[in-house]
Amino acid sequence: MASIEAVPLPGCGQITLGLINADFPTGPLPGDVMRDVLARPAYWSLCWGSGLALAQFILGNPHWVAGKQVVDLGSGSGVVAIAAALAGADRVVACDSDADARLATAVNAELNGVRVDTAGALPARCDILLMADVLYDKQNLPLLTLAQQHANEVLVADSRVTELPDPGYDEILTINALTFPNLGEFDEYGTAHLFHWRAPDRNTTPAPPPRKY
């Protein structure tokens, strides 16, 4: 049976998240249950590989967010927003179009003893906007441009997209991380690509040279 359990995140043990139990049923679902799952996908009940990768990156490199106004777009469980708060962000706003995800983010932030504000729309401006595993839906590609209108710099982590259509984004890192609990995804989805965009005329974080983690 599926349930939500609070667990320390493997590979990011300073964060505890309420996620679906690791032994959730994987067999065929009755038709009406399947329809409900598809109509209201609970993305927030998993920590996606890209979110785990970006959380690890931020915790290991806190200067990217410390003292800054941070937005996590497509927050899901809130893993990236919580990492930013733990890394010393001045303020973190977690945006998600799904009200259940906003609730999950708020509950998980409380579980980790950090303040994260939630919103259904982007705040007017922030220093840095973070986006992990949101480009699985090609209809979300315009978010890359929208993010630039709201932020001085943007970090995108995605394991399903290896190139971005906007040449203003530079790939700065690849990080190996699996979705938790493990969904048994294709091997190629075990590597998150980290892309960085910065506004040319604003004071932003110097990018590290490209390398692999």
Binding interface with ligand SAM (CB under 6 A)? 43-44, 47-48, 50-51, 73-77, 79-80, 95-98, 101, 132-134, 136, 140, 143
Reduced to 3 states, what is the DSSP secondary structure of residue 211? strand
Least Å distance, CB 23 to ligand SAM, is 20
d(CA 54, CA 130): 8
Q: Which is nearer to ligand SAM, 143 or 154 (CB)?
A: 143
Rg (CA), the chain: 16
Collapse the DSSP code of 34 into the 3-class scheme (helix H, G, I; strand E, B; otherwise coil) and give the result: helix
For residue 177, the minimal CB distance to ligand SAM (Å) is 10
Give kind and range of the element (H or E) at residue 48.
none
Q: Which residue is nearest to ligand SAM (CB)?
A: 51
CB closer to ligand SAM out of 36 and 202: 36
CB of residue 43 to ligand SAM, shortest distance in Å? 4
- 6 vs 202, which CB is nearer to ligand SAM? 6
Which CB atom, from 79 or from 85, has the smaller least distance to ligand SAM? 79
CA angle 8, 108, 41 (to 5 degrees): 100
Give dist(CA 25, CA 23) in Å, integer.
Answer: 6
Q: Which is nearer to ligand SAM, 48 or 197 (CB)?
A: 48
Smallest separation (angstroms) from ligand SAM to the CB of 123: 13
Spatial distance between the Cα atoms of 97 and 76, rounded to a whole number of angstroms: 9
Contact 161, 199 (CB under 8 A): no
**Shortest reach from residue 132's CB to ligand SAM, in Å:** 4
- DSSP secondary structure string, 118-159? EESS--S-EEEEEEES-TTSGGGTTHHHHHHHHEEEEEEEES
Stated length of the chain: 213
| Pairing mode of beta strands 151-158, 126-132 | parallel
Rounded least distance, CB 116 to ligand SAM, Å: 13
Between 136 and 213, name the residue whose CB sits nearer to ligand SAM. 136
